[in-house]
A = this chain, B = another copy of it.
Amino acid sequence: EMKVIRIHPVSDPHTTYFLQISWQKDLGTGFEVVLSDGKAAWNGRVSKEEISKEAADMEMDLEKYVGELRKVLLFEGGHADTYNFHISKEGMNKDYLQFSYEKNLKDVSFRLGSLMLQEVSSPAEIISKLISHCLDCMAGLEAKNECLQRENETLLSDLNDIQGQLQKCVEAKEKLENELYQRFILVLNEKKAKIRSLNKSLKEAEEMVKKSNQAR
């Protein structure tokens, strides 16, 4: 894995540096550091042992310490200005540069780690690779964007379809209720008409019985 971030070291605030971190799977297993200002480039490596030692020195749980490294070196979780970088080229050996990174809390800051980076003899290749990596990330992000965009459109059209179906279902339910009542009323009223006519016939028959009995 690889990540490139832009940093402005406290010790050289007007210069933009690019920090490229590369690692296998888990940052805690060690990582390569490349630093460049667009002209020169320096690189170095932090091993797994050094990471564990650093965490032990700070009496910090290794997992937590690696979490801090992810925040400061990979910009993970947004980069509140709680992290600073220092670069110093004052060392004896001109080919080396000291690179350190620290976390500042309210009024105190403690160093999260530091390492010596060696100047690279052919920076062009390193810088070219760094730019290529950025372009590849952009291409990947653009592809992901397009895919999400398409997914969005599909979801939106599905949503519209379903809303249409729901609307239809509500209307169908009302229509069903009306139709059933209408049919029921017709069939029921037939029975009521029948009952009226039977009542009438029965009444007439009873009249006749009465009359007939009187006549007898």
A10 within 8 A of B: no
- A187 sits at the interface (CB 8 A): yes
Q: Which residues 173-203 of A sit at the B interface, judged by CB distance below 8 A?
A: 173, 176-177, 180-181, 184, 187-188, 191-192, 194-195, 198-199, 201-202
Tell me the smallest distance from the CB of A190 to a CB of chain B, in Å.
Answer: 9
Size class of the A contact interface (CB-based, 8 Å): 35 or more
A-to-B contact residues, CB < 8 Å: 4-6, 16, 18, 37-39, 123-132, 134-135, 137-138, 141-142, 144-145, 148-149, 151-152, 155-156, 158-159, 162-163, 165-166, 169-170, 172-173, 176-177, 180-181, 184, 187-188, 191-192, 194-195, 198-199, 201-202, 205-206, 208-209, 212-213, 215-216
CB distance B134 to A135 under 8 Å? yes
| 9 additional A-B residue pairs with CB within 8 Å, beyond A38-B126, A173-B173, A209-B212 | A4-B135, A18-B131, A141-B142, A151-B152, A152-B155, A166-B166, A191-B192, A208-B209, A215-B216
Neighbouring B residues of A194 by C-beta, 8 Å? 195
CA–CA, A125 to B39, complex, Å? Answer: 8
Nearest CB of chain B from residue A6's CB, rounded to whole Å: 5
Contacts of A135 in B (CB 8 A): 4-6, 18, 134
In the assembled complex, 12 residue pairs joining A and B whose CB atoms fall closer than 8 Å, in A order, are: A4-B131, A16-B132, A131-B134, A141-B142, A148-B148, A162-B166, A169-B170, A191-B195, A205-B208, A208-B209, A212-B213, A216-B216
Q: Which residue of B lies closest to A203 (CB)?
A: B205
Q: Which residues of B contact A128 (CB under 8 A)?
A: 16, 18, 37-38
Cβ–Cβ < 8 Å partners of A141 in chain B: 138, 141-142, 145
Given A176-B176, A198-B202, A202-B201, CB of A138 within 8 Å of CB of B142: no
A195 partner residues in chain B, CB cutoff 8 A: 191, 194-195, 198
Instruction: Please report the C-alpha to C-alpha distance between residue A159 and residue B142 in the assembled complex, in whole angstroms.
Output: 26
- Most chain B Cβ neighbours within 10 Å, of A134, A191, A194: A134
